[in-house]
Structure 1
Amino acid sequence: MTRTGPVVVATEADDQTADLVITELNRRGVPVVRFNPADIGADLAVSARFGTCPDPMDGQVRTPSRTADLTSVRALYWRRPTWPDFNRLEADDARFATAQVRHGLGGVLYALPNCRYVNHPLRNAEAEHKPLQLAVAQHLGLTVPPTVVTNDLEQAREFMGAHREVVYKALRWTPYRQGEVGLTTWTEPVTVDELDESISVVPHLFQARVDKVADLRVVVVGTRVFAVRIDSDLLDWRRDYDALTYSVIDLPDRLATALIACLEHFRLASGSFDLAIDRAGDIHWLELNPNGQWGWLEDETELDLTSAFVDLLTQGAS
């Protein structure tokens, strides 16, 4: 039976993709409670009780304008939330406070009874590990470019010697600033001459470059598959959105089934996949973003992704 309680949306203040979903939820008359975990202690309060009622947990999460009973939440849309950094505190106090929020507020949100998560934050965190993604993709029969994850200089040199062109990818995107300037790590070509012993400090991901003619961004929502071909001359299409052209395509059934199986493996309700089409028309796995952006694709292609996500959220727990 579909629950009639609110959909909780956890995200940062400026999130246009979340705005699309909330607008559609409002249009359908579905109650919504939106907050950002970073607002704890200011515009956000949580109270959860255990061992005092028939349910495993009860309580409330409250914002200045909304209250949600924890036992009635039908879905949690974990979009782009941020956590407080407590930078006004001394370093040890800030670490302690941060841990209490992540394990207190986070722990409550991770334990909502009979709730559909899109996606569960702990499942997101697991699925973000690229080496694990690569292993799962190959197990599912997807074509994975030759890849090495290493901090061993000789292993990196040997890998580059075996492949004509190699690219470097960050193992995980992290906020990075130099002064007031925000920086981004792109997928970049790398040559053996650029390597030195400094790579021993952390593992690096090196991958044989796919001789691609186009990229694919595939958004899977439940069992619904939305595939968009992205044409450009860019190695990393994120560098220049103005240089991209888009076309909606149908994936081969076998590939669509494998991508759905990938989400099932990680126990995710949705995910955004990046793939590449080579000159022979073969499709290569690149990565899974379990909480990828999709709002701009709806603008460019008129795919009704918003409705797909709202359909999933309003179904409640499966």
Structure 2
Amino acid sequence: MLLIAGGETDPSVESLVARARLRGMDARTLLVGPGTNPSLAWSFDDDRLLIDGDEAAPAGVFLRYDVFGHLADGRQATAYRANAWYTALQGWMLAHPRVRMLNRRYGGQMNKPFMLHLAARMGLHIPHTRVTNELDAVEREMAAAGPLIAKPLTGGGYAQPLEELLAGTERRDGRSAAPAFVQRRMVAPEVRVYGVGMGASRRFVAYRVDSEALDYRVDDDSVVVHLSLDDVGAEGVDGLGRVMDALEMDYGAADFKADPESGRLAFLEVNSAPMFAGFDAVSDSAVSDAILDYLAG
């Protein structure tokens, strides 16, 4: 039996559940949200897990942290609830090594500068990059460096033209209060590649995102196109595989854009818990199929 757990209103969870049901898989759900209040009991005395009063012994679990509940109502209690459910289920999964899960061996390294540096060491092409808060120095070099962007070192923010950052950021002695990425601006196409599995058995699924925006996540009119791996090329696909192997990551998605000078795809970042509903929608649920096949063993 496969357990799919996460937010009641999470589109990626909805996509995976729908695909599992269409395939006739032995799967049950544990969904948390405004319309649900499931029960869970994990006894350490006999190590039994009860979900809604029934004993559960899933062979595989897909677990996704619910961010959508808190986004909808902004209540601290909702964020606490999501964290507690995620912690309880992740704890059970980690305590049972035979249960198939995503990224069991992945250490959770989410440091974006480290990830980008690792990608370069693994042979991937990356944009010219600097991590800095020296805004005066960057401003002096802008003309010679070509179009530049700035983006936060942590998650949750969007890339923006460097000019916008310079205009809207307070400086002290020519420096901002916090460092950020400053990078050469890459150009279309924007490519996303999902990887599921480890080593030679890893399955890759690729897409192109067409958007007029610098960051397609802010563009409601962006268009997703399913690509063949040949469209991406071995450099990007094999390089992503090396990065994921180095991190012991068996599930993730990497974003690439084209270098304006060479046309080569440049690695931007890899995400260990990417959303995928919009990508499933244009590829007959290719990402969900890869996840379900991996968790089913």
Asked whether the two chains share a fold, i.e. TM above 0.5, the reply is yes
Moved beyond 6 Å, runs of 4+: 83-86, 97-102
Structure 2, unmatched stretches of 5+, are: none
Q: CA deviation at 1:152?
A: 4.6
Supply the AA of the counterpart residue of 1:309.
I
Partner residue, 2:177: 201
CA contact (8 A) 1:219 1:227 kept: yes
CA, structure 1 residues 312+165, in 2 after alignment: closer, same or farther (shift >3 Å)? same
CA contact (8 A) 2:65 2:83 kept: no
Partner residue, 2:269: 287
Q: CA deviation at 1:86?
A: 8.6
Task: Identify the match of residue 142 of structure 1 among 124, 133, 137.
Answer: 124
Once the two structures are superposed, residues 26-73 of structure 1 have per-residue CA deviations (whole angstroms, 9 ceiling, x without a partner) of: 34443334225779xx52323142xx67xxxx2204136x5413xxx3
* Cα distance in 1 between the residues matched to 2:148 and 2:43: 51
SS at structure 2 position matched to 1:287: strand
**Residues paired across the two proteins, number:** 281
* Cα distance in 1 between the residues matched to 2:246 and 2:30: 29
CA, structure 1 residues 141+219, in 2 after alignment: closer, same or farther (shift >3 Å)? same
Structure 1, unmatched stretches of 5+, are: 1-5, 89-93, 175-184
Q: CA deviation at 1:314?
A: 0.5
CA, structure 1 residues 168+63, in 2 after alignment: closer, same or farther (shift >3 Å)? farther
Task: Identify the match of residue 211 of structure 2 among 228, 232, 240.
Answer: 232
- TM superposition score normalised by structure 2: 0.78
* Cα distance in 2 between the residues matched to 1:296 and 1:101: 25
Partner residue, 1:110: 94
* Cα distance in 2 between the residues matched to 1:229 and 1:102: 31
Supply the AA of the counterpart residue of 1:289.
N
Q: CA deviation at 1:257?
A: 1.6
**In the TM superposition, what are the counterparts of 1:150-165 in structure 2 within 5 Å?**
150-153=132-135, 156-157=138-139, 160=142, 163-165=145-147
Q: CA deviation at 1:153?
A: 4.4
Partner residue, 1:278: 259
CA, structure 1 residues 60+162, in 2 after alignment: closer, same or farther (shift >3 Å)? farther
Partner residue, 2:64: 79
* Cα distance in 1 between the residues matched to 2:87 and 2:284: 40
**How big is the alpha-carbon RMSD for the aligned residues of Structure 1 and Structure 2?**
3.6
Partner residue, 2:162: 190
SS at structure 1 position matched to 2:56: strand
Could you tell me the percent identity over the aligned residues?
22
* Cα distance in 2 between the residues matched to 1:208 and 1:219: 24
* Cα distance in 2 between the residues matched to 1:103 and 1:227: 31
Partner residue, 2:26: 31
Q: CA deviation at 1:157?
A: 4.7
CA contact (8 A) 1:229 1:248 kept: yes
SS at structure 2 position matched to 1:263: helix
* Aligned: 1:214 with 2:214: no
- TM superposition score normalised by structure 1: 0.73
